[in-house]
Amino acid sequence: MKGAGKGTSRWGGVHGGRVTEYAETWRLDPDRIVDFSANINPNGPPLSVQQAMMEAFPTVVHYPDTRHPQVKKVLAAYHECSPEQLVVGNGATEVMELLWRWIRPNRTLVFAPAFAEYAAIAQRHGLRVEEIIIPAEKWVSPANVLAVMRQVSVGPGDLVVFNNPHNPTGTLFTRLQWASVVAGWLDKGAWVVMDEAFLDFLPPSQQVATSAVSWVKDSQQLAVIRSATKVLAIPGLRFGYGIVGESWAAQVNANRDGWSVNSIAQAAAVAGYQDKEFFLRTHRWLMQELNFVRQHWGSDDRLELYEPHANFFLIRMITPDIAAFVQEQLARQGLFLRSCDNFTGLGPEFLRVAVRSREDNQRLWALVSQLLDGLL
């Protein structure tokens, strides 16, 4: 176990999606940048969301409704839960921050590599963080990962974070696979946060077989986190939410800044989560593009592709130098990948790549293949 990695990259930084910084660093027109470093749905925001945002604009002369009634009603219908189970926030990270602040766990247990904000949130509140490093080669198999998780000592008052689909590897765990492990943590008195930020990209059948939402009603110590930021493509607006037990949600909502979720973000989420056609298009797009990724990236023995299940994929170059060279050459042409050099347990030879449109995906693969041809 060790502390969170603090390395940064001129391409990736602590997080991806730093388009303004990329433009400044590489002296590029921001409009020329094709950002593969942030996992945002290229099909959005949908027209329904854009229209809702425009219609909601006149309401900015008033304070937003701190009760968030309409968006909670829509999300409750979407997840078949009660509105009283919902905590909404200015992005999923704010929701996690609210939960951490309320729980104040003895320890926050994070399985690395992992999203940096889990540890960062705990550290901001002066809370203890322990990272359990799972070697990169184990993430190719859910069973191998879960075997490590079963061995972790968890006690009352601890908070365990389980990310599914996992970022950055893309590993997906079905409920049949994770159920006994998570149940064991809950039985020992631990809190469990299931981060499902990318699960909306999967078709409903996979979500039903994978999500922890149906478990929340039966546990006062289990939380599910979701993000509209990514699937609705509104990172500049931000909206996320948590599904928890009703009494837990009531206490969190009673001790927070309700104005943090602005009126336009609430309207965008209301429209987006009722746009069934948009989600169907998203599911079809991802299935097609993941097949493209497997066909091209997965068949090239000059790199290793981790089996993708979300709107991003992880690759491992033969050496860190090759990864750095590829990134630099792509950056000069305005294409940016996410270096994994600051993910504990990975390193600079690992790159995370967002799935974008077929045109963008084809362009990226053609350039990477050409660069590798010149090296190997």
pTM for this prediction: 0.93
At 21, is the pLDDT very low, low, confident or very high (cuts 50, 70, 90)?
A: confident
Phi-psi region of 257 (alpha: psi -120 to 50; beta: other; left: phi over 0): beta
CA 11 vs CA 39, 115, 196, 348: distances in Å: 15, 17, 26, 11
pLDDT at residue number 89: 98
CA dihedral 315, 200, 37, 90 (to 10 degrees): -140
Pick 8 or 236 by higher pLDDT.
Answer: 236
How large is the average pLDDT for residues 221-247? 97
How large is the average pLDDT for residues 71-94? 97
pLDDT at 24 over 90: no
pLDDT at residue number 11: 42
Spell out the domains of the chain, with CATH numbers in brackets: 19-44+277-375 (3.90.1150.10), 47-275 (3.40.640.10)
pLDDT at 4 over 80: no
CA 156 vs CA 176, 189, 194, 228, 243: distances in Å: 24, 4, 17, 32, 21
Q: State the first-to-last Cα distance of the chain, in angstroms, to the nearest integer.
A: 36
